[in-house]
Amino acid sequence: MPVKDVCALLLGLGIAIVATLLARQVRDEADASMRWEGGVAVGFAALLYIGPFWIAQLVLTVLATIDDSGIASGWLWAWLFAAPAIGISPPATGLVRLLRRGRPGVD
């Protein structure tokens, strides 16, 4: 399996994890307007933290598509857009909340 494909998949996994960590506090907010404002703030923060890695994943996906070996390019393109969406999904943020429950210093 080519290194470009593996790197694109790993970058997507990292993006999903970081997006989950950024979005976990917004999901717990009871006030709908604060949840919306928090979501906008998380979106801008994600541009700073995740943006360069997402661009790197995009470049690796394009190179893997041109190379046409290894993982089918359709899966890489789907993962390019699915990774951030999975990261901000309620199941992912709920999982982080469950894993952090009971630890000192939880938010």
Return the H-helix or E-strand segment holding 28: none
- The predicted model gives 41-65 an average pLDDT of 89
Pick the residue with more confidence: 7 or 97? 7
Contact 20, 50 (CB under 8 A): no
Helices (DSSP H) in the chain: which residue ranges?
Answer: 3-27, 32-49, 51-67, 73-87, 90-100
pLDDT average, residue stretch 4-9: 91
Cα–Cα distance for residue pair 59/78, rounded to 1 Å:
14
Residue 26: count of CB within 10 angstroms of its CB: 19
Mean pLDDT of the 42-66 span: 89
